[in-house]
Structure 1
């Protein structure tokens, strides 16, 4: 199968997916699939690869390929901060299943991978799906290309129209840190849903407007996160964003804007 991105740039699907564990950086609300562990290593990685990458004010999603082999070696995807309606989320197709695969660039040339604009949450947040637009849901998917564990590109008419991350709670982390390899606690799964309910719905507008009910919900989630003793790496990843919201809005005197 050949995939098209950015109009005329293409890559061929191969049989060798990345063996890199995804990192769901909750504070920055993005998923990284790469082996770099800090900013300096990331800069070297970008210099030694080609594909879609940030440039000045432009911040597209990233697919990076090795200069010599032209094989996919890393990726980074941004999540939309507003979730689609439940009715639209329910329309996300469950077939076809993801097929573990790699990508081989048809030529050494940079391109631009548009950021997905629609976040669809499966029940219990077992899968997070980001789509180019909701029109994608009007037709079946042609394929799911599993480029890394639990990470797939969604293909329709030969074009990449989005991506999905299965079991996102397993991959919660902050920055470039590796996720906890141990299974997540059930309580952490519930807390991920609580946090996503807050930051991807109009509740976040209520927090920014200092609505008392929204701030009370924020403070409650913050307290539960701080008091959970188990699964601290994942809990701290959730707290990295929720704690910032508390500091910016819930701890600030009424009438004083951040």
Structure 2
């Protein structure tokens, strides 16, 4: 059983039995598992905690700990911009299962943990798994530590090598708002997959950049479907934000 996790920079934390009681928020290509509700609260939260954080153009994974007790109190992750092939995504192991747990830092000290570089998408995007690199798939995982509802850290040789979010469509939101507590409608799940294709599948992205008619038509169709969707508007608006830059840059060609 994994009792301690290693992070970049020889930094480490013990696994506790208390995961975060926070609802994840999937905002664009970022997954937020933190208590703040606006930018001012975010700045205050970072000032009152320690750990790994973003700074100007440096965007590592974010893990924030409370100085008193050294417990994990928040995290932020970036979804990689490039999706793995279906073949590689199919190599993501189902085991071991998720073990709920929190983290307690070994010491009050800042560190930097590098972002993942590869996105592995399960069928229907039921699970998004983000890995340090594809070499992780060459060996078994040692553990999955569920630090929050549907959010797990992936562990190999005692080191955090990735993370995953189960049922990402459920946690779609815009701004700092909490996700809609109602489950997503089927159209939202389908359009999440379409949006992720548009922004992470290299041939599709290249087609948009090169002005290929089929790729542009696909982008325009997705944008139109999201704008016309009446149910689950909050999540539809979140997906519109996800593809907004692509629509602005390529949608009117």
* TM-score normalized with structure 2 length: 0.96
Q: Secondary structure at the match of 2:42?
A: helix
Q: Secondary structure at the match of 1:94?
A: coil
C-alpha separation in 2, matches of 1:14 and 1:71? 9
Match of 2:7 in 1: 5
Deviations 1:90-128, CA, capped at 9 Å, x for gaps: 000111111110000010000111100010000110000
Residue 225 (str. 1) matches residue 198 (str. 2): no
C-alpha separation in 2, matches of 1:199 and 1:180? 24
C-alpha separation in 2, matches of 1:16 and 1:195? 34
Q: Secondary structure at the match of 1:173?
A: coil
C-alpha separation in 2, matches of 1:56 and 1:245? 23
Match of 2:132 in 1: 132
Q: Secondary structure at the match of 2:70?
A: coil
Runs of 4+ aligned residues of structure 1 deviating over 6 Å after TM superposition are none
- Residues 140-219 of structure 1: matches in 2 within 5 Å? 140-201=140-201, 202-219=203-220
Match of 2:245 in 1: 244
Q: Secondary structure at the match of 1:221?
A: helix
C-alpha separation in 2, matches of 1:64 and 1:58? 16
Deviation at 1:245, TM superposition (A): 1.9
C-alpha separation in 2, matches of 1:178 and 1:56? 26
Deviation at 1:243, TM superposition (A): 3.5
In the alignment, structure 2 segments of 5+ residues that lack a partner are none
Deviation at 1:204, TM superposition (A): 1.5
Q: Is the 8 A contact 1:210 1:250 kept in 2?
A: no
Change (3 A) 1:206 1:18: same
C-alpha separation in 1, matches of 2:55 and 2:234? 32
Deviations 1:124-143, CA, capped at 9 Å, x for gaps: 10000000011110111110
In the alignment, structure 1 segments of 5+ residues that lack a partner are 253-258
C-alpha separation in 2, matches of 1:243 and 1:48? 33
Q: Is the 8 A contact 2:18 2:102 kept in 1?
A: yes
